[in-house]
């Protein structure tokens, strides 16, 4: 840990602490010792046998160093900075608590160790309920190649300028990496844009004010052929999501291979589902087949939402999820319209029955 209390009960940063002074842990009130050398980042450590439940002795060099670097960056940018500030009302202790003038305080968590989505949600919502903003910044264990199954995706955050994004901190260069506008397309790698900032060269304001030029990713020309191959492999491997969709299709007189072309995802979407987007589109197809030829807009939106809701991943760090969910509903409504599955009729929609038929198997 980076702070401890001196004999006068004042919090002292390890980098500024004197050696011949007794220190105690601000959490458990037990004795701690100062550890500082030419290689090791200055920090306090409990003595052997301590059972402190507030500060973990398992802090890695990366975590200790990263917190120091972030604290220095925010302080140099004009913020008041507290390391490991105890928030009594929350029973939480963020890695950093920073504030500029009268803006709401910002809790910064530099996460290097495993964290369950349940614990992540509890900590994040604790901050929100008590008026704190929170920023999750991920360390090296989460920075491996980003995939649709990556554990980093539980930390997805949203910003109007950056879309759905992740933040990485690289201790070796004391730099922040913003992975922004993350999108997913079934059977293809995740797409995203990357922007880096070195804390020694640019202030925090440069990060906050960054507005990227967004490039819309285009699927490869062979996407449909590739997708059909992936579906065939998924069936052969009995992948859970596709087995469930196959059963859904069987119960309605068809198979995955007979789903109409408009159900095959062609445009990258927000990575908010636990399953491929084909599952949602396939369920929408199945439900629209049971509807009358003319349905109200409200009924259509309710149907789309009912099929989407069970498929959504738990997002612990997305505060305004409703905005993103509405984006998904608008996108699929537009898709149905453009593919001539539905057609506007005043305030209602007319269903194109020809687009709601099983097709000849494609594979």
Contact between residue 81 and residue 75 where contact means Cβ atoms under 8 Å apart: yes
pLDDT at residue number 39? 67
Q: How far is CA 193 from CA 75, 157, 296, in A?
A: 28, 15, 39
C-alpha 245, offset from chain centre:
26
At what angle are helices 277-288 and 321-338 packed, to 10 degrees? Answer: 60
Token pair of 336, please? Answer: 């149905």
What pLDDT digit, counting tens, does each position of 186-209 carry? 988 999 999 999 999 999 999 999
Distance CA 44, CA 33 (A): 5
Residue 296 pLDDT more than 60? yes
Q: Give me the residue spans of the domains in the chain.
A: 60-208, 223-356
pLDDT of residue 54: 57
What pLDDT score was predicted for residue 53?
Answer: 60
| pTM confidence score | 0.86
Average pLDDT of the chain is 91
Q: Is the pLDDT of residue 64 over 90?
A: no
CATH number among 1.10.3470.10, 3.40.1350.10, 3.50.50.60, 2.60.120.380, domain 60-208 = 3.40.1350.10
Residue 235 pLDDT = 67
The mean pLDDT of 4-32, rounded to a whole number, is: 83
């Amino acid at each position: 840990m980076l702070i401890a209390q001196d004999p006068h009960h004042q919090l002292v940063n390890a980098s500024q602490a004197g050696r011949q002074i007794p220190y105690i842990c601000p959490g458990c009130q037990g004795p701690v010792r100062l550890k500082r050398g030419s290689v090791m980042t200055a920090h306090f450590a409990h003595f052997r046998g301590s059972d402190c439940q507030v500060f973990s002795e398992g802090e890695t060099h990366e975590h200790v160093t990263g917190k120091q670097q972030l604290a220095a960056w925010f302080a140099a940018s004009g913020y008041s900075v507290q390391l490991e500030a105890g928030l009594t009302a929350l029973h939480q202790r963020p890695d950093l608590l920073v504030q500029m003038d009268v803006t709401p305080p910002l809790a910064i968590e530099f996460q290097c160790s495993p964290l369950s989505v349940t614990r992540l949600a509890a900590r994040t919502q604790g901050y929100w309920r008590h008026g704190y903003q929170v920023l999750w910044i991920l360390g090296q264990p989460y920075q491996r190649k980003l995939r649709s199954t990556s554990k980093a995706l539980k930390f997805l955050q949203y910003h109007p300028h950056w879309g759905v994004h992740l933040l990485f901190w690289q201790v070796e260069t004391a730099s922040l990496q913003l992975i922004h506008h993350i999108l997913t397309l079934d059977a293809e790698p995740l797409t995203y844009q990357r922007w880096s900032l070195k804390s020694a060269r640019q202030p925090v304001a440069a990060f906050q004010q960054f507005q990227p030029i967004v490039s819309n990713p285009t699927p490869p020309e062979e996407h449909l052929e590739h997708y059909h191959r992936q579906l065939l492999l998924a069936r052969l491997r009995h992948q859970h999501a596709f087995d469930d969709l196959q059963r859904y299709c069987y119960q309605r007189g068809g198979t995955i291979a007979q789903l109409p072309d408009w159900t095959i995802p062609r445009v990258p979407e927000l990575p908010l589902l636990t399953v491929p987007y084909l599952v949602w589109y396939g369920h929408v197809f199945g439900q629209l087949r049971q509807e009358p030829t003319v349905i109200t807009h409200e009924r259509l939106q309710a149907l789309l939402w009912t099929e989407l809701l069970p498929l959504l991943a738990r997002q612990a760090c997305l505060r305004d999820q409703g905005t993103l969910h509405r984006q998904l509903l608008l996108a699929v409504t537009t898709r149905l319209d453009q593919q001539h599955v539905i057609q506007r009729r005043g305030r209602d929609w007319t269903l194109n029955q020809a687009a709601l038929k099983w097709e000849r198997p494609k594979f």
